[in-house]
Amino acid sequence: MAGPSDRSDSGSGSALQAVFEQLRSAHTLSLTLTGPLCLAVIALDRYLSAQHPAAESYSYDLTVTDGRWRIKCQLAESLSRWVRTGSLRCGAGVLVSQLSMVHDETRLSHSYIRIDSIHSVVELPERFLSIQDVGSIPEWCQDHVTRSDGPLQLSRKYYLPLWINDDPYGSVWVPYSPPPDVVIDVSRITLLADLEAFFHSSRRPLPLLVRILHRSRIRYYGKTGQNIDFPFQVYCEVADQSGVMSMVVWNDLCPEWFNRLTVGSVLYLQQYSLKHSYQNRSRPHIPLCLWLFCGFVEISLNPRSPASVVTVIPPKSVQPQWDLPDVPYNFATRSEVDSMNNNQACDIIGLVTYVGRVERIRRPEKFWAYRWVHAVDGTADSPFILEIFSSSQPEIFNNICPMTYLVCTQMRVCKTGCSVYLTSSTETQLFITGCHKKQPYVNEPKVKAFIQWTKTLKDSVMLRRTSVGGHYCYPPAPPTNSNMTNEPITAVADLKGELQSLQYREHRRVAVQGYVAAVQYHTWPPQTETPHSEQQIDHTLQVPDVQQAASHPTVLWESGVWPLVKQQVTDHFCCGRLDQESIPEKFHFDDREVLLHHLNLSPARWTPDLTSQTHTHTPVACTGYFTLTILGKSSTCSSPYWSLMCSAPQLESERVMCIVDLCLLGERRVEMICSRLYRTADICQPDGTQ
């Protein structure tokens, strides 16, 4: 394929073309540029690393443009932390200083460009701001450089979502489409209750006719060195007139069928396998009094040996004589939740009044994404407090916003002390305004009662009660410290490692102890703004903020020992000023798309129109904040945290424990908020010591 024509910013060729011509004519496969090449990042793609063993589990492909041409490059493994911390992101400028040509010797004529060194990440230069449609930028390609819609490492056949593994992502996942009309033979089908007899014999089981009652989120079990093309798994609970049974969808069938296996769908299954049921997993709540639960055997749908045949029956073709059960629901109102048992399952419907930003928590070899949501249903003064994890429904999870009617199924009650909230389960399904039509729950009595209540509301009144974003941590740390004796404590000196290991939007809670050295008060919002500066990580960890107060903070109290030791501290972890992203703001319909863009995780594709839009940040009830300076017990480190302190002078020489919430907001901005402070003298140790 021909390369780009001879035209560029300088008149003889694009910046990318000039560099690639240098690389092709070089005597080595690597090229160090005399000056950094500024490119715009238009796409970031993640996939399981093909190297084994690999220092990092995931590799990244980076699509960049010089404004005239675009090209997909691999990011060197040593640079992957730029992505993991949110510094290298779509819509930013990247200064590339070294590239190389990689030839895959196991493939015929497969080569690609790899970015080996980055000078820095910068705000997008003005010359890129005129780009409206990145898809219209032609792709640069020549005979020796491969064009690929998938990973540049051809041993991988799919991309993963940029930040988690649970969502369907990429063109390999077949989108939902209404099932076509079909003709099936129901004269020779078997019932779920009879499958155990087939399991203990060599006979191939007859076809099944079942309805999906529940569907789990996607489980990804890929590992480096594993030889499975699509290591995905989804399980469903299916039912017929005789009982309920688990059905597991494996590997290649997940991308093909996941979006079409919706709750309430009727399936005609052929050439499936039967296996012992895997007991060590979560299961949805199903009223067993209604059906027999066949828990020893499960249905296995495989792409081969044998290749299962799945047929989705259109709703209009489902016959009453098939006697298939309806999807069971257990809707609870807010007034009923307080009296429910811990871990009890329920479904809820409510009007959303608050939506938090999406954050991530670390799990072994993966991250989970979640957000906090408030919703009201008119049955109580307090809202539902919902901890919603990604449910493999990104088009819904990322579009939850205030004034939306939200339905969450299979939520679990969590009670900690006086706090009550609901958390989503593996089988939770989410539905928002625009998705409710024809859902099985629309005729539930409590859903109808909720709809009637909403007709009595005025949008203008409810809108004043809405807010989005900001720091949100729930449940709060207990007011007494009797339960803190078993909590691990992080030494103040070890905070540097904690902060440096944080990844983008990762939330982590730590406990630290030391002495209160100083308390300061800062007004909010700041009177003026100072430019954002680069973070330097050395003996001092500084986390600047785009908004900082020009005037000095008011010193409310300072320990007598602090002026004597503050010049001798060896490590000083400075969190700078309160970040604008830490303050909840009012919701405005006109800013909906921009607000959601900021609340959600950084996207894998650059949308120029959305990125260029701005909105007015209107904080909700915040006039100022306090900072604490904590001196470690060894008196070698100090660390300031946020907290509202009203009795600081009483803490002279008082040893305290702080519960601190950490979150890397991106672009080297760390949020450090003290959510609770305890006097360690009041914390009784199990052995009676203090």
Q: Which pLDDT does position 145 carry in this prediction?
A: 60
Tokens of 548: 């900082």
Mean pLDDT to the nearest integer, 503-512: 94
Whether residue 161 has a cis bond before it, omega within 30° of 0: no
* 616-628: average pLDDT: 82
Segment among 582-586, 656-660, 682-686 with least mean pLDDT = 682-686
The pLDDT assigned to 555 comes to 64
Question: Is 445's pLDDT higher than 90?
Answer: yes
DSSP one-letter code for 155:
T
Neighbours of 132 (CB within 10 A): 9
Is residue 222 scored above 50 in pLDDT?
yes
Which domains, ranges and CATH numbers included, belong to the chain?
15-136 (2.40.50.140), 192-322 (2.40.50.140), 334-468 (2.40.50.140), 492-584+619-682 (no CATH)
Burial of 596 by CB count in 10 Å (0-12 exposed, 13-18 middle, 19+ buried)?
Answer: middle
For the ranges 11-15, 510-514, 595-599, which has the lowest average pLDDT?
Answer: 11-15
pLDDT-derived band at 255 (thresholds 50, 70, 90) equals very high
Q: Pick 487 or 530 by higher pLDDT.
A: 487
pLDDT by residue (tens digit) across 95-107? 999 999 888 776 6
Alpha-carbon gap, residue 572 to 631, rounded angstroms: 10
Percent of the chain with pLDDT over 70: 84
| pLDDT for residue 3 is more than 60 | no
Q: Where residue 551 falls among pLDDT bands split at 50, 70, 90?
A: very low
Least confident of 2-16, 410-424, 588-602: 2-16
pLDDT surpasses 90 at 112: no
Q: What is the pLDDT of residue 454?
A: 97
Whether the predicted pLDDT of 564 surpasses 60:
yes
- Supply the pLDDT for residue 280: 79
pLDDT mean across residues, the chain: 85
DSSP state of 80: H
pLDDT at residue 559, rounded to an integer: 78
Higher pLDDT, 108 or 517: 517
DSSP string, 469-513: -S---SSPPPSSSTT-TTS----GGGHHHHHHH--BTBEEEEEEE
* Higher pLDDT, residue 534 or 471: 471
Mean pLDDT of 316-340: 96
Is the pLDDT reported for residue 688 higher than 50? Answer: no
Q: pLDDT tier at 74 (50, 70, 90 boundaries)? A: very high
Mean pLDDT of 214-234: 93
Residue 216 has pLDDT above 90, yes or no: yes
Q: What is the dihedral angle through the alpha carbons of 523, 525, 529, 532, rounded to the nearest 10 degrees? A: 100
Residues 56-65: tens digit of each pLDDT: 789 999 999 9
Q: Is the pTM of this model over 0.85?
A: yes
CA dist 110 and 144 (Å) reads: 7
What are the pLDDT digits (tens) for 603-612? Answer: 999 998 877 6
pLDDT at position 393 is 98
Which comes out higher in pLDDT, residue 532 or 496? 496
Lowest mean pLDDT segment, chosen from 287-301, 591-605, 646-660: 646-660
